[in-house]
Amino acid sequence: MTVLILAGGGDSGAAAVASAVAARRGACAVTVVSPRRLAVAKRWVHTVAPDGTTATEIRLADGGCVPSSPSAVLTRIDGVPPVRFARAGARDRDYAAMELHALFVSWLAGLPCPVVNPVNGNGSAAPAALPYWLLAARRAGLPVVHTGHTVGTRAGRYSPPPERVPVGSVLVAGRHVTGDQAGRFGEGCAEVARATGCPLLEFRFAREAGAARLSAVDPRPALHDPAHVAVVAGYLVEVAS
């Protein structure tokens, strides 16, 4: 079993999850790779067969290798920066960035193992705008915050949302639901995770107009809480086994 974690060097949450996975299954059970190490890889070969299956070989500049057949992937990056093209012209640099992004997405999308959270044609789920998550939450029956609206004249006048006070959160990791608001909103949060195809989500709630409402959804939770780290590590071990 090998869990591959893609994360930046300063991602303490990813480091904590890696340590927790290693504590459960041994140091060889987890590999952490940063986007920069991917960007300066010595060798990166990615092939797509006529039937759509893929094969990838990534040899890192420091002599290491990215597992070609990981059992599960936790991705906390948006792509691979074109650092080798730092001195190129803007046009060439932009083209390299697009090609690297396509390679990154094709690699992860082609893996037969669970990728948390999955990628699509635009990359990871992280950049999704708040209205996307609020719409999914409404469909799941969760109360959501007001996002402001225009009133008054024909041209409209912006009306800011009411004041919000944070009240807690819910973390969903596959079938596991935890957090101080899980008792009230856990079922709806789990439904959002299923409907959007993102098994790892953190839902933050705030009090607005006298009621607790969903105010934010994070597909890339910070994971500062040791309890959340344990849940995510357990989920990765579960889906990788």
Is the dihedral angle over the CA atoms 146, 132, 134, 76 positive or is it negative? negative
* Residue 219 predicted with pLDDT over 90: yes
198-208 burial by CB neighbour count: b if 16+ within 10 A, else e?
A: bbbbbbbbbbb
* Dihedral pair phi/psi, residue 108, rounded to 5°: -70, -40
Q: What is the DSSP letter of 69?
A: S
151-188 burial by CB neighbour count: b if 16+ within 10 A, else e?
A: eeeeeeeeeeeeebeebbbbbbbbebbbbebbebbbeb
* Residue 190 predicted with pLDDT over 90: yes
Higher pLDDT, 160 or 236: 236
* Residue 11 predicted with pLDDT over 70: yes
Show the 3-state SS of 4-61: EEECCCCCHHHHHHHHHHHHHHCHHHEEEECHHHHHCCCEEEEEECCCCCEEEEEECC
The mean of the pLDDT values for the chain is 91
Of the ranges 144-148, 178-182, 193-197, 236-240, which one carries the lowest mean pLDDT score?
144-148
The average pLDDT across 219-226 equals 95
The average pLDDT across 203-221 equals 95
Q: How far is CA 137 from CA 97, 189, 207, in A?
A: 33, 7, 16
pLDDT in tens, 147-175: 765 445 555 565 666 788 999 999 999 99
Burial class (CB in 10 A: 0-12, 13-18, 19+), 226: exposed
The average pLDDT across 33-54 equals 94
The average pLDDT across 31-51 equals 95
pLDDT of the residue at 127: 58
Q: Could you tell me the domains of the chain?
A: 3-116 (no CATH), 130-218 (3.30.470)
**pLDDT above 90 covers what percent of the chain?**
83
* Residue 25 predicted with pLDDT over 50: yes
pLDDT in tens, 88-116: 999 999 999 999 999 999 999 999 999 99
The average pLDDT across 215-228 equals 95
Q: What is the DSSP letter of 148?
A: -
pLDDT of the residue at 150: 47
